[in-house]
Amino acid sequence: MKQITVILFLILSPGLLFSQADYPDLKDISKRLKALDKNSNVSLSTLTKTKGGNDIHVLKIGKGDLDNKPAVAVLGGVEGYHVVGVELALQFAERLTSQHSDALDQTTFYVFPNMSPEAYAQYHAKLKYERRGNASSQDHDRDGRLSEDPYEDLNKDGMITQMRVESPLGKYTTHPEDARAMIKVDTSSATTQRFLLFSEGIDNDKDGQFNEDPEEGIAFNKSFTYKFPAFEPFAGDYAVSQNESRALVDYLFEQWNIYAFISFSPANNLSSPLEYKASEAKKRIVASPLEHDVAINKMVSDLYNKTISQKPYMQDNKGTDGDFFQWAYFHFGRLSFSTPGWWVPEAEKDTTSTSKIKDTKESNFLKWAAQENLNDVFVNWEKIDHPDFKNQTVEVGGVKPFVMDNPPFSKVDSIAIEHTNFILELTKHQPKLEFHNLKVENLSGGLKRISVDVLNNANLPTHSELGQRSRWLRKIRIDLSASKENILAGNKIELISKMDARETKSLSWIVKGNGKLTLKAGAPHAGFAEININL
């Protein structure tokens, strides 16, 4: 009996069938996507191939008229080194289809599991480093040569960590509570041992910088149009220049029913919401989320913190130039939410310590890792001979790649369950149009007055404030099936720009004739309501 139970559990949990000990590689991901595609509620498509020959997939999940139901888009692999984001997107799709298919009655889901496959694959490569770029060729330092200053594994441990050089010009020193960690030096101290800090490598082009032209291309999360960081490494020559970003944008502009995005990325406006800045919001090119949208963000953030057990700590990334999360709001007009899904928790404080130095992200991580008995997270500093620093003390070491941005894989399952629950809770608040208080009154001359209320019976508005201002999202359309000749007052087609949460709009017509009419209201991203009228 126990064996049967175990088998059934594995069948119902497809995410557990692959790479149970660690994050899946690209082949494992492909197997899981093909398994999902066998579900009758799932359609797996390939948007494009990257320069590296990898497929960019989308899962369209739903029941019935998928294009005319409010939809949520979920993205993983927004940053290549954020491998947990891919797993959270995958497990969301797997749990949605195997355990929560009832959610598909009212909502369509688009899941883009991995937008950075080449960068993601670096996690499983012989040389591990936190890669962002795809496989395109790019002159990051704009010196006319390609990839002439890549990473070098100087201590031959298969990882790119850091390199510290003892120097009176250094701006870093060791943390007083943990000599492994580096902190900015206290300039008031003349006796402090100082270090220059670089990524592990050699200055191949002798320009004083290290690893500034690596063998990788454009970062998906730095190549979008909102505040596009022109001339910066990993951004590209112009916005949306890569196959994967262009294919995604082209696809999204045809999906009129998406009202919200959930991005699993380093940016975070869920554990703590964004702030409204009036001066920035009033600029010609809006640089702050609008006031009503910030209020929505606060409401959704409260929902997130009720659903997710981990409490926010050192979460200061509210978006970076050229990222997808901000593009989805500022340039696509939809509600856009982002979370790393996991962050290093606050370590237990040492009550005996007298140090006044605050924890950094690195020192807090090392303390937390020790408390969790995670012993394989740091490369001890080791002296090496470095050709660029003759007769100087040079050491290689530091926190291992990926471990500060991704939890141990054993913790991912519970994180994925909570985030699946959050997304499903969010959909319970999505726009929902209803007709109420329908009246048909007989007037003289065989005329009739039809009056009705349209209600958005939800906690979310039908349009974000910025989406309404952009005029891109489709308006709510009210259609009365009577012919124009029979409508004496009122319009056959009414357009409503936006309905706030729980807002009601009252409508009326005067018509002539008898029989049955149909009244329909809606937009793809807000859903549709329909009511029959007997005259």
Q: In this structure, what is the dihedral angle of CA atoms 54, 147, 124, 377, given to the nearest 10 degrees?
A: -140
DSSP 8-state code for residue 310: S
What residues does each domain of the chain span? 2-124+216-344+407-427, 162-214+348-399, 433-534
- Which H or E run includes 299? helix 291-307
Residue 127 exposed, middle or buried by CB count within 10 Å (0-12, 13-18, 19+): middle
Would you say 361 and 316 are in contact if contact means Cβ atoms under 8 Å apart? Answer: no
Which pLDDT does position 206 carry in this prediction? 83
Burial per residue of 467-489, b for 16 or more beta-carbon CB atoms within 10 angstroms, e otherwise: bbebeebbbbebbbebeeebbee
Sheet architecture: strand order including 493-496 = 493-496, 476-480, 516-523, 527-534
Strand partners, 48: 56
Q: What does the pLDDT look like over 287-339, one tens digit per residue?
A: 999 999 999 999 999 999 999 999 989 888 999 999 999 999 999 999 999 99
Can you read off the two tokens belonging to residue 420?
Answer: 């699946």
pLDDT band at 346 (very low <50, low <70, confident <90, very high): very high
Which pLDDT does position 142 carry in this prediction? 76
Residue of 17 and 507 predicted with greater confidence? 507
pLDDT at 107 over 80: yes
Residue 452 exposed, middle or buried by CB count within 10 Å (0-12, 13-18, 19+): buried
Q: What does the pLDDT look like over 297-307, one tens digit per residue?
A: 999 999 999 99
pLDDT band at 8 (very low <50, low <70, confident <90, very high): very low
291 closest CA partner among 469, 465, 459:
465
pLDDT band at 4 (very low <50, low <70, confident <90, very high): very low
pLDDT band at 9 (very low <50, low <70, confident <90, very high): very low
CATH superfamily assigned to domain 433-534: Immunoglobulins (2.60.40.10)
Residue of 228 and 146 predicted with greater confidence? 228
3-class state of residue 516 by DSSP: strand
Same topology, domains 2-124+216-344+407-427 and 433-534? Answer is no
Sheet architecture: strand order including 487-489 = 433-442, 447-456, 504-512, 487-489
| pTM score, whole prediction | 0.92
pLDDT at 10 over 90: no
CATH superfamily assigned to domain 2-124+216-344+407-427: Zn peptidases (3.40.630.10)
Q: What does the pLDDT look like over 350-374, one tens digit per residue?
A: 777 767 778 899 999 999 999 999 9
Residue 266 exposed, middle or buried by CB count within 10 Å (0-12, 13-18, 19+): buried
